[in-house]
Amino acid sequence: MSETPAPPVSDEGQDSDRDLSIEEYGHRAYVGPMAEFDVGAARQFNLLTMLLGLREYHHFLEIGCGSLRAGRLLIPYLMPDRYCGLEPNRWLVEAGLAKETGHDLKECRRPIFLHNSDFALRPFERVFDYILAQSIFSHTSQAQMATCLREAKAVLGPDGLFAASFHEGEEDYDGDAWVYPESVTFRFETVERIAAEAGLRCEALAWGNQNMQRWVVFRHADAEGAVAEFSDLSAAQAEIAVLRGRLESMERKGVSPADLVRMQERLRFVGEHPALQDALAKDPALHEAVFGAVSVTRPAR
């Protein structure tokens, strides 16, 4: 993929409730919903730190770091020289440094960026404790995913964790090209197989994603333990907190049809989660907060 100069807007949904100009914030629009740049960053940061255990001294790599949505929280959190970012579109990183983190942080934390588009990770010349790829496999071909996972396997430490999101669907994208800003889908089994072929194990995580993507964690095939079990309740709680805030905000401002459809989708997704269903069943006030504030039909199960 060659560098993309102009900022096409991601198809992952745009909010109308914020007055952000595309001229000033095109680097945000390129990577996802402009007005959810903040919470999109928070979700990634919380997943990595609270659930997966990222500490400041770990060596961290973000694949497709874009305009530093996660980077603006992770770069200050990590010690100097610990944050590495791969991003073919150099302009996105430059916009992120200029408008999100500020150049002082670059001096202070010395993040390291490479701009290749072939998923070559070995040129960073280090072993990583954590790797992140949010909304990258929602645009790759299967061959690109395989290349990325093979490269990741080569640079992931023995106990390392690689968190990634993708659009889970009933069909696999079988084209050869990176697709953007539109998204592609893969079946979980397909991602699991491609990971296994690369020598990695794939575990599904219950962790909310703003674009209805499925989070997974890749680890070396022979790594011990599992991260999935303890993710469920924390994920549901985090999702409840986000939904509560959204619903309150919608109540205050009135609900546009597009927002309502998006919220219904999100509620459907979260509502299917067993941990959340238990919490909703036990807590009428919570049920009211999640389902009672707007006229949402709970999906049949």
| 87 near ligand SAM (CB under 6 A) | yes
Task: Decide whether 122 or 301 has the Cβ nearer to ligand SAM.
Answer: 122
Phi-psi region of 184 (alpha: psi -120 to 50; beta: other; left: phi over 0): beta
State yes or no: residue 129 binds ligand SAM (CB under 6 A).
no
Question: Strand runs (DSSP E) across the chain, as ranges?
Answer: 60-63, 83-86, 112-114, 128-133, 156-168, 185-186, 200-205, 214-220
135 contacts 213 by C-beta, under 8 angstroms: yes
- In the complex, the smallest distance separating the C-beta of residue 63 from ligand SAM, rounded to whole angstroms, is 5
Least Å distance between CB 178 and ligand SAM? 5
Burial of residue 111 (number of CB atoms within 10 Å: 0-12, 13-18, 19+) = buried
Does 51 engage in binding with ligand SAM (CB under 6 A)?
no
Q: Which stretch binds ligand SAM (CB under 6 A): 72-80, 83-91, 150-158, 190-198?
A: 83-91
Nearer of residues 262 and 287 to ligand SAM, judged by Cβ: 262
DSSP code for 62: E
Regarding 63 and contact with ligand SAM (CB under 6 A), the answer is: yes
Give whichever of 207 and 276 is closer to ligand SAM, judged by the CB atom. 207
Cα distance between residue 83 and residue 290, in whole Å: 37
The answer to the question of residue 121 lying near ligand SAM (CB under 6 A) is no
Map tokens 């997704």 to a residue: 269
The Cα–Cα gap between 113 and 74 comes to: 14
Cβ-contact 42, 21 below 8 angstroms? no
* CA dihedral of 124, 193, 162, 216, whole degrees rounded to 10: 150
Tell me the three state secondary structure of residue 125. coil
- Give min distance, CB of 169 to ligand SAM, in A: 17
Q: Which residue of 136, 152, 202, 270 would you call a contact of ligand SAM, by CB under 6 A?
A: 136
β-strand pairing of 60-63 with 156-168: unpaired
Taking CB under 6 A as the rule, does residue 160 contact ligand SAM?
A: no
Does residue 89 touch ligand SAM according to CB under 6 A? yes
- Total residues contacting ligand SAM by CB under 6 A comes to 20
Query: Does residue 135 bind ligand SAM (CB under 6 A)?
Result: yes
Is residue 93 a contact point for ligand SAM (CB under 6 A)? Answer: no
Rule CB under 6 A: say whether 88 interacts with ligand SAM.
Answer: yes
Q: State which of positions 174-233 bind ligand SAM (CB under 6 A).
A: 178
Residues near ligand SAM (CB under 6 A) are 1, 10, 31-32, 63-66, 69, 86-89, 92, 117, 119, 134-136, 178
